[in-house]
Amino acid sequence: MSGYAVPDPTPPRRRAIQLGVGAVVTGLLGAALYRTAHRIEGTTVQGTLEAPSLGGAQVTYTLVYPRGVDARRPVVPGGGQGSRLPVVVVLHDLGGDSSVVTRLGLDEALGRAVVQDGMAPFALAAISGGDRWWRARPDGTDAGALVLDKFLPWLAALGLAAGAEHRVGLLGVGMGGYGALRLAQELAQRPNAPEVAGIAVAGPTLWRTADAARQQDPGVFADAGDFERGDLRSAPDALAGVPLRVECGGEDPYLPAVREVLGALRPPPTVTVTAGGHDLDTWKPLADGQIRFLGTSFAAGGQQVAASGGYPPPHG
């Protein structure tokens, strides 16, 4: 994961279908599947991108814009020309894909926060990284590079605030919780990369030792040295000053490792123990809190909606 790559202007593969009251978007969004929700979620755009770091495979992405944002020109409503919309990159769990934003109800949570509560808007963006732990694998694939070197520059090319001069949010669950924390450390140590506005993770899959990681997935790390490089404790100060929300189920088998590994960070974040285990049923009820936390993190850095009367109340 070296360098911050120039965006690839090639549009997604033209395989899209028009649904509901949506319309097909051209340009960088290609002919992506594009729908407008009938409730308060806003607009969802789905399509595929080529993933060079995954052997050139086509992978799916999902973008969610709150109501009032034009997906063809994703700027802050009322913010004036060039006011790019902030974005939170969502990393999925083991066995998941870019549909994580809807499986967790993050689209609905974003709609409630923005439309009902008047929170400054931002977008959600997820991409399918496979079961590769959002890092370089011994087999040569690298789902972390997919996010840092492909997806973020592509989002910036769409017009979202994902370039080197911007601040992005990260959200992850399970395997994606580990990925969000590790990629945030990577961004913090890269020149010419976005700053991290805030991180929200639930049930992050963390390990105390390389042996514990190998028991989870023999291919996640090549050897003990590779484990040390991928361990969050290898860069304990990298996230200092970054707002961090960590939640973990009281019955989650990874809770002891979460406490130990994150306890080594400086400063150590608070780990809030919730009901439940290591599954979607545990993580889905956390969506509203995660969205509001990240919205507050953006606002703390000056990402505010210009005075424009805010959003109208939802109808129906």
DSSP string over 236-256: TTTTTTS-EEEEEETT-TTHH
Would you place residue 307 in the very low, low, confident or very high pLDDT band (cuts 50, 70, 90)? very low
CA distances for 143 relative to 91, 150, 192, angstroms = 10, 10, 20
Would you place residue 194 in the very low, low, confident or very high pLDDT band (cuts 50, 70, 90)? very high
Place of tokens 């105390």: 208
Would you place residue 301 in the very low, low, confident or very high pLDDT band (cuts 50, 70, 90)? confident
* pLDDT at 104 (0 to 100): 97
- Report the pLDDT averaged over residues 136-155: 95
CATH superfamily, domain 27-300, is: Alpha/Beta hydrolase fold, catalytic domain (3.40.50.1820)
Closest C-alpha among 175, 301, 302 to residue 242: 301
Report whether the peptide linkage leading into residue 267 is cis, meaning its omega lies within 30 degrees of zero. Answer: yes
Taking the CB of residue 8, how many other CB atoms lie within 10 A of it?
A: 15
Pairing label, strands 57-65, 43-51: antiparallel
Residue 213, pLDDT above cutoff 70: yes
Residue 3, pLDDT above cutoff 70: no
Task: State the amino acid at position 198 in one-letter form.
Answer: G
* pLDDT at 139 (0 to 100): 87
* pLDDT at 79 (0 to 100): 74
Q: What is the pLDDT of residues 167-183, one digit of tens each?
A: 999 999 999 999 999 99
CA separation for the pair 109, 284 (Å, rounded): 10
Domain boundaries, the chain: 27-300
pLDDT-wise least confident of 3-12, 58-67, 197-206, 215-224: 3-12
Sign of the Cα torsion 175, 177, 182, 186 reads positive
Residues 147, 129: contact at Cβ < 8 Å? Answer: yes
